[in-house]
Every structure is written in structure tokens, then in C-alpha cells.
Structure 1
């Protein structure tokens, strides 16, 4: 059986698939075997032609094979598993039909949006089951038996163990998206519990940007004669992404960040930090300098996390300061620049972070701040992506002129964080992220009003 994929819907055999040979213009969702009603849904969503991973995996999935999909981030993986699942659901309507496991809450909501958009005309019902939300409300949603459940592993296990009448015995499809990260986040135990209670006679799709030894082990445990679909053979970043680094002294890191944000003003940014506390601090500091920054991290409650994401998506905030919660799978079309404020400890995370920009054929910028303490980590990143990055040019005198203003903003940010911590201590259940209210434009105003009193 041939290992190349032509535009017909005949599926290739179980071999590693790389670049497709079919001419770009001849491949449509219809030619891949997607039914008319779903082709129309793709058109409404603005999906003009299938992406590489969709071209390779959809025919294989529609033929009934288990699939391992390896593709760079931003490549349209969600469509490549959602379309086959919805098409087979059309042929055999059934509740509790498919379970999608994802590593993060935000990604779960995003996948649900895509399933609902694709299945709008056929009445598909989805349920998002993630932590940080009320268990009882979720139990009521599960009792209505949705077609598709999108869940994080920990919360799903909670429901399997504690929600009366809930089981997955009728399940026909299991999808694991970002499988490498699900396993890296120590969800291995939960995944094993889920695998024990779902039918062995099911189809399984395993999607990941990177193939790790843990993913290979999972593949052996839960897939039957899978077809491996791979559209990039090494870790890589997309061609239209302009990457650079900025070598700076650690003590002036904040000042350089502010300089870069000013230099590239008018763009929308995601700034990645390594900890929740630093994410919060940087967001407050930038806001005190009059920038529309908003934090997104794991210590915020779920409502606030979704609120932050929606404000950024709707462009009412131009700078999202985030931990790696936002580095995987989130599709925000208008991100122009990614700044690695803290360098990622795992080099592969760099690929996922910078994959938030230059998506779907657009161009984008990625700038990594490298201090004297980060040199080894940075060299590992260059080794992984197989290229030496150019230096991002800065005017040192201009940067240093901002030091005083930035120092003052840092001081206010620290005071604001201390005040939030005290408030949280006094009233249990109050988040330390209550700072994104419309009146919290800067801490200075609060201080001034106190002085007047």
C-alpha cells in the first residue's frame, strides 16, 4: 500500500507520512471524504482548504484506523480529529459518543467551541468538564448525556468516582490532545484510571506536537495498529516567524521588557513568565505604566481565567502576561509578538510558546530575553530548533532612560501584591487576581485618594 497521500479519500497504509504530494489547489475537505454538511461548516468557519495534518489524517480516520498525529503547534489538529468524529456521529447518532482529554482548562473550552461550531447545524451537544468549576453543575450537565465530553483528566476521574449514574461504557471515540503535556503534567495515573473504565472496542486518536517516550508507551497501551501521521520530522518553528534574542543584565530585565513593548507598540503581545507570582507582578507593573496588560495563570479561578482570555481575544487588552497555561493549543488569531520574559526550562516549551504567533500562514515575531543566568538554557533552545537566532537590536541609552519610571512601577506593583495577599488572608476565597477590574488602572490613584483622606 502506498505511503503517499493523494487527493482521493483512499487511506494510506500504516507508515510514517510526511509532506503530501497532492497539488495544493486540488485538495478540499470534500475530496478528503468529508460530508457536505461538515464541508459547509468548515466554510462558515473560514477554513478554505485543509491543513497538512488534516490532509493526512482525515482520510485515515474516516477509514476507521486509530491515529497518532504529530504536527507542529498551530497546524489545525483540532479539525483533524473533530471532523472524523462528527462525521461518524452523523452516521450513528449516540449520546456519550466521544471523550477528548486535554491538559489545560482553556484548551478544553477552545476545543468545545470548535466542536460546537462545526456541529452547529447537526445539533451536537458538548460538555466541558474541568477543575475550578462547580461539581454539582457539571453533574447536571453530564446527566443530560452530551455527545462530546471535553475534559481535563483530574476532574473527569473525580466525576467517574463520585457522580452517581455517570459512566463512559458507551464511548466510541477517545481523543488525547497534547498527549505529551497531559503525561508531563503527571496525569499518568488519572489517564490509566480512565482507560480502565472505557470500552476496549473504541477508536483512539492521539495528537501531540512532540513524540516523547511517555507518549510512545501510551500509544502501545491504548492504540490498535495505529497509522502514524507526521507532517514535521524534527522540532521546528514555522518559516514566517521572525525569532530573535536580547542579551541583557538580569537586574534590568523589566526595563528591557518595557522598552520592547514601547518599541513595538500597536501590536498584540503574549509575554511568558515562569511563575504565577511573576506573571501577576509583571502585569501590575505594566498596568502602572499605563499599558493594557492582563494576567493569566493557574492560581486565578476559572471564571477570571476565561475572562482574561476573552478580554485579550476581543482586543480590549493588548498584552497577555501568562504562564505556560497559555503556551499550548490556544488559538488567538491576532497575536503579533511573543516575548519570552522568563526562558522556558524545557526547550520544547519554547516551540509551543512561539507557536502562539505566526499561525495559519501569518507572520509574527518572537523575542527571548536572555540574562547572564540563562545562557545554557538558551543554547539548548538553539540546538533544538537547529538555528542560531539574530540579536534583537536595542539602544542602551534609550533603555536606561526608562529605569526610574519602571522602578517606581515595580514598587507600586509590589505594594499592590502585598495588599492583595493581606486581603486574601482576611477573607478566605478572595483571589489575589482581583486587579483586573476597570477601576484598577493603577495603584497610584488608590494611594493618592488615601493621601487626600
Structure 2
């Protein structure tokens, strides 16, 4: 029986003495070929979470990785898995399974695996809701090395797809574990854990260590190494954080004013519900803004289309629910607008984390109405700082009211026409139901509080 080492072969103390810009992936034990793949992807130096976790993962230890969004978690688990696959005597099917809370994040993880693993021809399959089960069954029959999935759809295939199993699984990764459990995927994950080999390595990556995540850790990890590189509530120093306080009825007017102020900037507007997301996108288009929606009620092809248009820069305003707040690597976002105050400080961190990434600067503006004061005060308390008031002229905002009212009426009519055409058809899978359920549960009971 092999003895698990108490520390990795890589000299952690020697790494700690080096400056961050001097440390390379080779210093962490990553193979020459994968170092070259990192260089091609412009991964010049390992991030903190990568420095802390990769040596342990290469030694065969289970990992609990706690790090804020945008910290490079995907490469932190992808590199060790690809290297171990390379070292295997034969290229095994279903070598690793990665579970993610949203479809968009699943596709992004698969892209990273394929890019890093192109030197050895790593094959990936993405299994998520909203897509054809038969086409996915065909993809599974080709026995890919890496399976990236949402838990609901994976469980569907384990139960219903003939000949599919994960008996050869060597690695299980649960990415954004706190979000997975927030979306009530817990029972599905429990079923999946019963259907996969006990002898495996497990990597659990999360932004925060909640009680649910701790329970999942006890159930699925063996003598894990805990790697933590961020405090519970932290934002980067290059992010300027503002708030705007105004009566609820002027919310759309203030948003349009801000978008005029930030004209030409790449902007994400975060809302609480799917219907608000759709309505705002229609309203902004009627006002001449290049806005596109992203939410759980859209068909998967449209969701990916919206995301790709925004990433490519053909549309510079993305109106989204929290489906876009976690894990997605969208480069060059200049501004984040919180149309609705997030329900928790954790959600606030993830939303504003879409901007000011990789050392760049960015701005966030949070809308605060008379009903949101307690929520924003809670966020400020957890951040241990006050948000700054955004400077503007109220008279200039009010001059837009008439145009905004007209655009609101058009958007409302379009929404009604769409609802009428749609009728009672839903055509959505369980992954979407969970996203929408979470968004609905986030709508607070209105409570009037005066902002001091």
C-alpha cells in the first residue's frame, strides 16, 4: 500500500521565497509539453490558487480549493488531470468528470481542457440540459476522456442511456460547489456519488465554505488538502465601487442615463428575474443600445449566442441574471451595473468580479431604491467599506424620462405578444427550472427604509 506524502515533491518553501513573476508552471511540476500549451494560451505565470493546489494535485491528493472568482481555478484542476491522463499507460475513456452549476460555465471549462490538452488530443464532451439527449448519447458513445456536465443532465444519462457508466472514472471535480448546492443539486450529486468509483481523486472548488459545502466535503473527499487564497468577502483594489440612491419609479431612467455616460464601454447589467432581463434588453434596443439578454428561460443556442456576441464585442451591453455572475471568463468588461441589489454579499462579489479582472481597472454601480437600503448596508458591512455615491446631475437624468417611458411601453407590448405566442408551452428542463426557481426566490418582500 502506497503512503500518501505529507507534502508535495515540489518545494513549497522555495516557491514562497520566489517573486510571483519568477514562478513558472514548470516549478510546480507541470510537464514541458503542458508548459508550452500554457504559453500559447498566454498563461505566463501561475495564479495563487494554481501555485497552491497544482503540486498537491500532482501528488494524488484530494483538494478543497477556496478562491474568489477570476482566480484561475479551471487551469488549477485541468492541468493536473491532463498530465495524469498523459502519464496513463492507455488513454482511458471518462478519465475525469467535471460538474458545473451552469451550462455556460460547462462549455467554458471544456474549452479550457481542449486548449490545454490539444498537445495530446484530449477529447471532451459537454452534457447539459436544454440540448438533445440523443445527440448527447452519441457523444458519450465516442468515449471522451473528459466529461463536463451539469448534475441534472448527468444523472439523466446515468439512469437512461444504455451502456453509459463512469466505472473508469479517476477524477471528479465539483466546480463552484457553493453555487451547485445553492441551486438544489444536492440530491442529484448524492445519486451521482453512489454511481461512481470510491477509488478516485476529488477536487472541490468553491468561492466560500458554506455548511452545505463542508457536508459535501465530508461525504466525497479523502484526507483532502485545503487551499485557501482569498478572504470570504473581498474585491480587487482596481475596482471602483459606486451606488446610486433614487426612488424605484425612476430606475430605468437612471440606467439609461448611466449607459449614455458609459457609451462605448463593455457593460453587464445584472437583474434579479428572467422577465426583467428580457424587458430591459427590449427597452434598450428600442432606445438604440446594442443590448442582448442572457437568462435561464432562453434556449441553450440563444444563451450561447448572446454570450459569444458579447465576448466578440458585436454587442457591448449584456443584460443578465446571476447565470452570468459565476465563473464565466468574459474579458474586457468595463462596467457592471447592479440593476437590483444582490440578495447576498457573496452574489455581489461575484457580480462585480466580472470587471477589473487580471489587473485591469473597472467600475461597478449598484442601484439602491427605498426598498433596498438594508440589503446594501449588509453588503457594505461584509465588505468593510462604504460604496461611493456616483456623481451625476439629477436634472439631466429627468430629461430622459419621456423617451424612457415610450420605450417601456413598447417593451411591455412586445413581452405580452411573446407570452401570447408562447402560450402554455414551456419546453424547459430541470436545470432551467432550478435557475428560475432560485431567481424567483431572490425577489425580496418590499420593506421601506429611509437612506441616511
TM-score, normalized by the shorter chain, greater than 0.5: yes
Q: Distance in 2 between matches of 1:426 and 1:278?
A: 20
Alignment of 1:126-145 (within 5 A): 126-145=124-143
Alignment of 1:48-447 (within 5 A): 48-92=44-88, 93-425=91-423
Question: Structure 1 residue 343: deviation in Å?
Answer: 1.0
Q: Distance in 2 between matches of 1:140 and 1:146?
A: 11
Does the 8 Å CA contact 1:11/1:60 hold for their aligned counterparts?
A: no
Q: Distance in 2 between matches of 1:82 and 1:306?
A: 22
Q: Distance in 2 between matches of 1:411 and 1:130?
A: 36
Question: Structure 1 residue 385: deviation in Å?
Answer: 1.3
Q: Distance in 2 between matches of 1:345 and 1:230?
A: 25
Question: Taking structure 1 as reference, are residues 155 and 426 closer, same or farther at Cα in structure 2, changes over 3 Å only?
Answer: closer
Question: Structure 1 residue 389: deviation in Å?
Answer: 1.1
DSSP 3-state at the match of 1:216: helix
In the TM superposition, structure 1's runs of 4+ consecutive aligned residues that sit over 6 Å from their partners are 2-5, 426-430
TM-score normalized by structure 1? Answer: 0.90
DSSP 3-state at the match of 2:388: coil
Q: 2:34 is matched with which residue?
A: 38
Question: Structure 1 residue 22: deviation in Å?
Answer: 3.0
Q: 2:11 is matched with which residue?
A: 10
- What is the CA deviation profile of residues 200-231 of structure 1, one whole-angstrom value per residue up to 9, with x for unaligned ones? 11000000111101001111111111111111
Q: Distance in 1 between matches of 2:424 and 2:72?
A: 46
Question: Structure 1 residue 235: deviation in Å?
Answer: 1.4
Q: Distance in 2 between matches of 1:96 and 1:149?
A: 6
DSSP 3-state at the match of 1:345: coil
Q: Distance in 2 between matches of 1:169 and 1:134?
A: 24
Question: Structure 1 residue 175: deviation in Å?
Answer: 0.3
Q: Distance in 2 between matches of 1:192 and 1:4?
A: 30
Question: Structure 1 residue 26: deviation in Å?
Answer: 2.4
Question: Taking structure 1 as reference, are residues 166 and 298 closer, same or farther at Cα in structure 2, changes over 3 Å only?
Answer: same
DSSP 3-state at the match of 2:97: strand
- What is the CA deviation profile of residues 332-384 of structure 1, one whole-angstrom value per residue up to 9, with x for unaligned ones? 11111010001111221001111111111111111100001000011111111
* Structure 2 unaligned residues grouped into runs of 5+: 429-452
TM-score normalized by structure 2? Answer: 0.91
Question: Structure 1 residue 41: deviation in Å?
Answer: 0.7
Q: Distance in 2 between matches of 1:282 and 1:22?
A: 49
Q: Distance in 1 between matches of 2:31 and 2:268?
A: 37
Question: Taking structure 1 as reference, are residues 196 and 427 closer, same or farther at Cα in structure 2, changes over 3 Å only?
Answer: closer
Question: Taking structure 1 as reference, are residues 337 and 297 closer, same or farther at Cα in structure 2, changes over 3 Å only?
Answer: same
Question: Structure 1 residue 20: deviation in Å?
Answer: 4.8
Does the 8 Å CA contact 2:49/2:67 hold for their aligned counterparts?
A: yes
Does the 8 Å CA contact 1:295/1:322 hold for their aligned counterparts?
A: yes
Q: 2:22 is matched with which residue?
A: 26
Question: Taking structure 1 as reference, are residues 202 and 428 closer, same or farther at Cα in structure 2, changes over 3 Å only?
Answer: closer
Question: Taking structure 1 as reference, are residues 428 and 95 closer, same or farther at Cα in structure 2, changes over 3 Å only?
Answer: closer
Question: Structure 1 residue 64: deviation in Å?
Answer: 1.1
Q: Distance in 2 between matches of 1:117 and 1:165?
A: 29
* Larger displacement relative to structure 2 (417-426 or 225-234): 417-426
Does the 8 Å CA contact 1:160/1:166 hold for their aligned counterparts?
A: yes
Does the 8 Å CA contact 1:11/1:63 hold for their aligned counterparts?
A: no
DSSP 3-state at the match of 1:239: coil
Q: What RMSD over aligned residues (CA atoms) do the two structures have, in Å?
A: 1.8
Q: Distance in 2 between matches of 1:313 and 1:297?
A: 16
